[in-house]
Amino acid sequence: MGYHVIKPPQHLANYVRCFWILEGDIPYQHHALADGLAEMVFHYHGTFNEIVDNREELSWRSGVQAQSQYARRFVTHSAFGIFGVHLYPYTLTTLFNIPPEAMSGEMPDLYSLLGHEGTLLEEQVMVASDHQARVEILSRFIERKLRQCNSPLSKMSIAVKQTLERRGQISVKEMAAEYGVSVRQFERSFKQFAGFSPKLYTRIVRFSNAVHTYKNAPTTLTDLAYTFGYYDQAHFIEDFKTFSGVSPRQYFTSIKHD
In tens, the pLDDT along 183-213 reads 999 999 999 999 999 999 999 999 999 999 9
Q: 217 or 135, which is more confident?
A: 135
Please give the Cα distance from 246 to 252 (Å, whole number). 10
Residue 258 has pLDDT above 90, yes or no: no
Enter the pTM of the model.
0.94
Please give the Cα distance from 212 to 100 (Å, whole number). 24
Q: Mind listing the pLDDT tens digit for each residue in 8-37?
A: 999 999 999 999 999 999 999 999 999 999
Residue 5 has pLDDT above 90, yes or no: yes
Residue 256 has pLDDT above 70, yes or no: no
- Helix axis angle for 198-216 and 183-194, nearest 10°, is 60
pLDDT classification of 241: cutoffs 50, 70, 90: very high
Please give the Cα distance from 120 to 114 (Å, whole number). 10
Residue 138 has pLDDT above 90, yes or no: yes
Long-range contacts from 125-129, C-beta under 8 angstroms, 24+ separation: 125/42, 125/44, 125/62, 125/83, 126/42, 126/44, 126/61, 126/62, 128/44
In this prediction, residue 254 carries a pLDDT of 82
Q: Mind listing the pLDDT tens digit for each residue in 52-91?
A: 999 999 999 999 999 999 999 999 999 999 999 999 999 9
DSSP annotation of 8: P
175-202 CB burial, b ≥16 within 10 A, e <16: bbeeeebeeeebbebbbbbbbbebebbb
At 43 the three-state DSSP class reads strand
Residue 219 has pLDDT above 70, yes or no: yes
Long-range contacts from 127-134, C-beta under 8 angstroms, 24+ separation: 128/44, 131/4, 131/6, 131/19, 131/21, 131/83, 132/6, 134/19, 134/42, 134/44, 134/83
State the Cα torsion 180-188-68-175 to the nearest 10°.
20
Please give the Cα distance from 144 to 149 (Å, whole number). 9
Domains delineated in the chain: 2-149 (2.60.120.10), 155-256 (1.10.10.60)
**Residues of the chain by 3-state class (helix, strand, coil), percent to 5:** 50, 20, 30
Question: What is the residue type of 38?
Answer: A
In this prediction, residue 257 carries a pLDDT of 54
Residue 123 has pLDDT above 70, yes or no: yes
At 238 the three-state DSSP class reads helix
